[in-house]
Chain A
Amino acid sequence: MAFNVVVKVHPVVLFQIVDSYERRNADSLRVIGTLLGSVEKGVVEVSNCFCVPHREHDNEVEAELVYAAELRDLNARVNTQENVVGWWATGNEVTRHSSLIHDYYTIECPNAIHLTLDTTLQGTSMGIKAYIRVPIGTPSGNNGSMFTTVPVEITCYEPERVGLQLSSKTIGIKKSVEPVHELAQVSEATGNVLSMLDTVLDYVNEILAGRNISPQDNAVGRALLDMVNSVPKMTPEEFENMLNSNIKDLLMVICLSQLTKTQIQLNEKLTLLTTL
């Protein structure tokens, strides 16, 4: 039984869980749904999910399994590589009902993962936890099972990271945010790099002045040395050459593209002028 399972979650999944929680029926306290993804060598990559309507009573749980199966088939038509890997629920603990729901999902896939997202914010943050169910007990005595946690990481495709960066601009602001123009993004990043450089400089100056020395300084110092050495070594003339030729190329391309634009406009006006 593989205990060293790592769960990698895409941001889409978490967004979908939060959205389903916000849209839940007025009488439900928590929402559940299916997790889709792929399993490979002890790493479970969760890349999609959907919500399944359910109702919880004292001793039983009603979940619309037909709905779940149909939605899974619909999804399989779009994405053939995603399989059911487990299920998710909001809230911050594993309840008695979870065990029942987990039974169903173990039919779908052998080592089902259970993911919880604490939307009720009971702790200091929105905790993301993943569990797998392991059997416990003595062989001759009582048998049972327990949910034990497994580590969770966030993984993104490169474009997803870009999307996250834009979305994170809305943190703390009540109103909406426009996608940034390219030049503005470059200038923002330059500003960030500047502030990072300031921090590093302060740190190095403190060390040189003999204050605040700690044992990790050696490791940090070595990393800094690596970074400084990784700047490509070019003589000033080489650098000038490279810079000038690149700028010339770019300027030429800009000039040509503007020329093309003007030509198309002319072309259009001319064809309109002809009377037949």
Chain B
Amino acid sequence: MSSKVSGIRGGRSRVVPDDCPINVVQISGLPMMKMIKHCHEEGSGSVDVAQGALLGLVVEKRLEITNCFPFPKQDDSVDEDEAYQIAMMKKLRRVNVDHLHVGWYQSADVGNFISLPLLESQYHYQNSIEESVVLIYDTQKTARGFLSLKAYRLTPQAVVMYKEEGFTPDALRNLKVGYESLFIEVPVVMKNSSLSNILLNQLSDMVPEEDGLGFLDLGTSSVLEGHMRCMMERVDELNQEAIKFNRYQQQVLRQQQDKYRYMQKRAQENAARQAKDEPPLPDEDINKLFRPLPTPQRLNPMIVAGQVNAYSSHVAQFCSQAMAKLFVTQTLQKAKEDTGSAKSLQ
């Protein structure tokens, strides 16, 4: 049964293109546990996301993450943040921790992470350090029992677009960037040292096994309701953006018609004047009369579309595993009914 299931692995962009400097992200037990602890402690209170830095090294095409530390909340100014980071990294260097800053992590609710601040931060990171990734940790999904840790990088086209051209529709068309090609997902694997494995062996004895089975819970409605509500909000936003864009198109069309009519009138008047041997009217700069309307930025709709996409994949995944659990209960019930009827026959 497990072989059949592993064939359903059709996530998006699991195969990383060759020009990407990183093929796979390898994380060890310590940074993962630290991230989980930090995101859990932060997330239980405020709405803000928990963020932190990742430290590690690059080995061929593999990015190894060996440690991490959390960032304090963003009430302070940027300078204090920088001082904190520098002080933290100096301290860690004293105890022989890898001090190459290879990326950052952020917690997200329902895996909904695409936002403008994230794009900016990842862009700056990738600019300074070529191989950096952003690790997204999904708090809700992990609390339900499925560990969700994904690594993302900006695609080269997204980098180019951010740097130079801005987000006009023409730029999008030229670079062939859509909401799906903003980020590529880099596969994450876990590896532990032998000593950690010994520790894990011991911990598995000390931690009772019955408690880790919360994900077999059949109740789905509360989670689904939350997802659907978020998705509806996003779809509303997308709708607004689409209306804006349509309005802009209509305005451009109207403006073009006005321009055309004006040119016609001009030409007529000039012809009339020439017939009367008068000097033609000076050619005014047409652009000053009909100022070109600014093309709306396509960044926001793209981000919102990306979020809606993330939500829908999430919901689909959640439903599939919920259905699997329901089918298991159905089989159990059938078995119970069969033995029940067999007993009554005896």
Known contacts A22-B193, A23-B97, A186-B216; A267/B200 CB under 8 A? no
Among A176-184, A199-207, A213-221, the stretch that binds chain B is A176-184
Residues from 14 to 50 in B contacting A, C-beta threshold 8 Å: 26, 29-30, 32-34, 36-41
Whether A272 pairs with B326 at a CB distance below 8 angstroms is no
Whether B147 pairs with A187 at a CB distance below 8 angstroms is no
Q: B299 contacts the other chain (Cβ, under 8 Å)?
A: no
Whether A176 pairs with B29 at a CB distance below 8 angstroms is no
Give Cα distance in the complex from A23 to B40, angstroms. 27
Whether A163 pairs with B36 at a CB distance below 8 angstroms is yes
Total chain A interface residues with beta-carbon distance under 8 A: 90
| Inter-chain contacts of A12 with B (CB < 8 A) | 30, 33-34, 37
| Inter-chain contacts of B180 with A (CB < 8 A) | 265
Q: A208 contacts the other chain (Cβ, under 8 Å)?
A: no
Closest to B191 in A: A176
Whether B199 pairs with A250 at a CB distance below 8 angstroms is no
Whether B206 pairs with A261 at a CB distance below 8 angstroms is no
Q: In the assembled complex, how far is the CB of residue A111 from the closest CB belonging to chain B, in whole angstroms?
A: 24
Give Cα distance in the complex from A184 to B147, angstroms. 12
Whether B203 pairs with A14 at a CB distance below 8 angstroms is yes
Whether B198 pairs with A15 at a CB distance below 8 angstroms is no
Give Cα distance in the complex from A133 to B178, angstroms. 64
Please tell me which one of the listed residues B87, B178, B213, B325 contacts residue A268 in the complex, with CB atoms under 8 A apart.
Answer: B178
Whether B189 pairs with A178 at a CB distance below 8 angstroms is yes
Total chain B interface residues with beta-carbon distance under 8 A: 109
Please tell me which one of the listed residues B139, B190, B311, B329 contacts residue A159 in the complex, with CB atoms under 8 A apart.
Answer: B139
* Interface flags, A9-21, vs B, CB<8A=1, else 0: 0111011101111
Whether B72 pairs with A67 at a CB distance below 8 angstroms is no
Give Cα distance in the complex from A258 to B316, angstroms. 8
Q: A2 contacts the other chain (Cβ, under 8 Å)?
A: no
* Interface flags, A246-263, vs B, CB<8A=1, else 0: 110111011001101100
Q: A83 contacts the other chain (Cβ, under 8 Å)?
A: no
Known contacts A74-B84, A162-B145, A271-B298; A154/B324 CB under 8 A? no
Most A CB contacts (10 A, CB to CB) among B40, B72, B200, B235 go to B200
Residues from 85 to 115 in B contacting A, C-beta threshold 8 Å: 87-88, 91, 94-97
A159-B147, A253-B224 given; name 13 further pairs at CB < 8 Å.
A15-B33, A67-B91, A79-B70, A121-B198, A162-B147, A171-B200, A171-B201, A179-B190, A182-B321, A185-B145, A186-B324, A250-B326, A254-B320
Q: Can you list 5 pairs linking A and B with CB atoms under 8 Å apart?
A: A11-B203, A53-B95, A67-B91, A177-B191, A182-B317
Chain A interfacial positions (CB closer than 8 Å to B): 10-12, 14-16, 18-25, 47-48, 51-53, 64, 67, 70-71, 74, 77-79, 119, 121, 125-126, 128, 153-154, 156-172, 175-191, 236, 239, 243, 246-247, 249-251, 253-254, 257-258, 260-261, 264-265, 267-268, 271-272, 274, 276
